Amino acid sequence: MVENMRIESDVKLDFKDVLIRPKRSTLSSRKEVDLNRTYKFKHSGSEWTGVPIMAANMDGVGTVEMANALNQHNMFTCLVKNYEESDLGDILGLSQHFAVSTGTSENDFRRLTRIINSYPEIKFICIDVANGYSEKFGDYVADIRATFPNKTIIAGNVVTADMTQELILRGADIVKVGIGPGSVCTTRIQTGVGYPQLSAIIECSDAAHGLNAHIIADGGCTCPGDVAKAFGAGADFVMLGGMLAGHDEGGGEIKDNTVTFYGMSSKDAMEKHHGGVAEYRSSEGRTVKIPYKGSVKSTVLDLLGGLRSSCTYVGAPTLKQLSKCTTFIRVKTQYNQVYEKNI
């Protein structure tokens, strides 16, 4: 039976709709803040310690070179889906700090099986689709859990508490949250589907934590302050695409001091990886030129410095305590307009 159309009238918020309220603090310096977290994952039973910021599995971001660079800062990388086992030899020693990404086709499953059989020390699998609401996707997550019971599984994307819980019960350790907020994603424009990212993080993290599982806030962060807001809202990890694009480690041709960056559902991505856009679908991503930024190190240091500063403003000596110290203030339309102009 098909339900009738309904409207949810309660307020839903994006990063631009809030600021974090400062509080009295005993911290005297940013260097006192510990950004490392330790998590134990629900199904795999594995533990992980590091700075829970991730490079997205996007062309120009989720590369082997990026994984090596971010590992220097104890950060994480979800590799793009087109890597084969022969490409991974240089980073196997970083197995705690990268995930092999996969889609849900038979070819994807065969490729993933080859990689894991060749390198059983790999600990993380990222199952990534644009729409995590299909029954097929849930079944696939369950199949991967049954096939690789000791691996930590990341799965998404979804934006609601019910599907967060569903994917966890199907075998996901970490659920990826976000539909449409990314800088090169046009899903909201093409389909009218989405969910304001801050509210999605709040609702999905609450659902996941009730089951002793975790979430990734995926998309929508344009500056270090947005990353702080995501952690303040309850995210366990924050995944970045556009903020980490345009660097040497992402590869890509540098022309006129710019680098091409595109969404993984864009026409460019589908032509590169699938031979074009299928007749039954449309592109849900854009291609943009972004400034060439050099080494990713300077961006990472700016990001981590901003996040430490956020913690000092609210008196959180560790990243773990940031959400407990966070009070969000809704801001007026005038601030939103200035915010959007600046980004």
Active site residues: 185
d(CA 46, CA 63): 24
99 pairs with which residues across the strands? 78, 124
Radius of gyration of the chain (CA): 19
- 137 and 111 Cβ atoms separated by less than 8 Å: no
Which residues fall within 8 angstroms of residue 236, CB to CB, at 6 or more apart? Answer: 37, 39, 52, 174, 205, 208, 214, 215, 216
Which residues fall within 8 angstroms of residue 338, CB to CB, at 6 or more apart? Answer: none
d(CA 131, CA 203): 18
As given in the structure block, the two tokens for residue 110 are: 């065969």
290 pairs with which residues across the strands? 259
| Residue 27 per-residue DSSP state | -
